[in-house]
Amino acid sequence: MEKVLAAFTKAQLQMFRTFVETLELNGRSVDEALEYIDVATQVREVELPEMLKCPDCGGPLSLSEVNTTKANRVGGESRSQWHCVCGYDRFSKLTIIEEANKIRRLMKNGTR
């Protein structure tokens, strides 16, 4: 047991002791707590609205600011760019905030 517990600091071991004692005082087991933690911390897959999916590969689109600094200068009148890891990109004359407000408005109206 000593070798196993050597991987933890004294503070971590004390916290574990407090955790176990709290569970016992409430009539719960460590197994129940672990099961609860597993369920509570699962990453839930979120369905992306169609407007946020890449038309080429179906992956999530990212939105970046363009033409605001020398580093993101692309020319033209574009103010933002939708892009995907697959190489898809689309420029927009709307700012990032205007694009976000447009998406919020469309989603509020039930458009996916």
Condensed to tens digits (0 to 9), the pLDDT of residues 47-65 reads 667 778 899 998 889 999 9
Residue 92 main-chain phi, psi, to 5 deg:
-135, 150
> At 109, is the pLDDT very low, low, confident or very high (cuts 50, 70, 90)?
confident
The answer, yes or no, to whether residue 112 has pLDDT greater than 80, is no
Judge if pTM exceeds 0.85.
no
CB-based contact 33:66 (threshold 8 Å): no
pLDDT of residue 46: 60
CA distance 76 to 19: 60
